[in-house]
Amino acid sequence: MPPSMKAISQDILGGPEVLRTVEAPRPTPRTGQVLVRMCATSVNPVDCKLRAGVVTHLGPPPFTLGFDLSGTVVEIGPEVESFQPGDEVFGMIFSKKGAYGEFALANADTLALRPANLDPIHAGVLPTAALTAWQAINLADVHNGERVLIHAAAGGVGHLAVQFAHRRGAHVIGTARTVNHNFLRALGADELVDYTESDFAASVQEVDAVIDLVGGAYGSRSLRILRADGRYIDAQGSDATDDPRYRRVVGHPSPADLTSIGQLAADGKVRVEVEQTMSLADITEAHKLSESGRVRGKLALTPWGP
């Protein structure tokens, strides 16, 4: 019998209760792939949308969710030259056999070596959120002295985008609940608006760029305060797609970007907020917490066991 492993799977689309622990065959890496013993992954908002069928990129179930991973390479497939068994790595997966398991298959060209002074939990929550934030700031071509508005600034992508924009010398404005304002000021935010108490479109002066991590009607509202030559970057799906300033960002794997981000985090130049670390045994509760919209930074998930 081939070796087995625990994984989270679902047979139907639905709420968090459809997620269940199963015994599955341990996968074997094919050409260009590596097998990673998982140390940590995370819950991204898109996980919940895929689970419920709001997003359909994985096709019909059964499937295993999870985009982010950090862990140890235990086996390499043919034509893999960048990694060896024993390497500590972090990166992204996008397949029907995701990272919610004891082991995960990943394409070698979606991973980077984890810096020795970046712990595996923080590395495991970084990839999707950090790559989205990094690539959004690059797409917006943020420059020193520009005014940048970031929606959902305290979330997983948002709190990293705040730091990346601040590092470029931008004047950073964020929308977030008041309880998160001191947290965001410590990360480099200059102005903050509590979206539950006031309309950002009425209280924020003209901006050069918007990083919209909420979407929907936030798009048209953001356009009211965006300069005529400004840049509007949408990560969620917005009502502003017809505007010539509109750009869509979808975080994509990039070993070069991961290496840069990982080193910044390892050197303490970028802070990665992990609000809570949970076991995959508690995956249902983790998804409920993610969907509450009240997570500061990221939720980390570790495999079963102590």
Which ranges of the chain have pLDDT less than 70? 1, 306
CATH topology for 4-126+272-302 is: Quinone Oxidoreductase; Chain A, domain 1 (3.90.180)
Report how far apart the first and last C-alpha atoms of the chain are (Å, whole number): 27
Q: Write out the residue limits of the CATH 3.40.50.720 domain(s) in the chain.
A: 132-248
Dump pLDDT digits (tens) for 231-275: 999 999 999 999 999 999 999 999 999 999 999 999 999 999 999
For 172-183, letters b (16+ CB in 10 Å) and e give bbbbbbeebbeb
Beta strand 103-107 with 68-76: parallel, antiparallel or unpaired?
unpaired
The predicted structure's pLDDT at residue 294: 87
Q: Write out the residue limits of the CATH 3.90.180.10 domain(s) in the chain.
A: 4-126+272-302
How much is the pTM? 0.96
The predicted structure's pLDDT at residue 86: 98
Beta-carbon contacts of residue 123 (< 8 Å; ≥ 6 apart): 40, 70, 90, 114, 262, 265
Supply 16's token pair.
Answer: 């968090």
Dist CA 289 CA 306 (whole Å): 22
The predicted structure's pLDDT at residue 1: 67
The predicted structure's pLDDT at residue 306: 58
The predicted structure's pLDDT at residue 225: 98
* Contact indicator for 99, 93 with CB cutoff of 8 Å: yes
The predicted structure's pLDDT at residue 81: 96
Mean pLDDT of the residues in the chain:
97
The predicted structure's pLDDT at residue 210: 98
CATH of domain 132-248: 3.40.50.720
For residue 62, say if its preceding peptide bond is cis, omega within 30 degrees of 0: yes
Dist CA 285 CA 48 (whole Å): 12
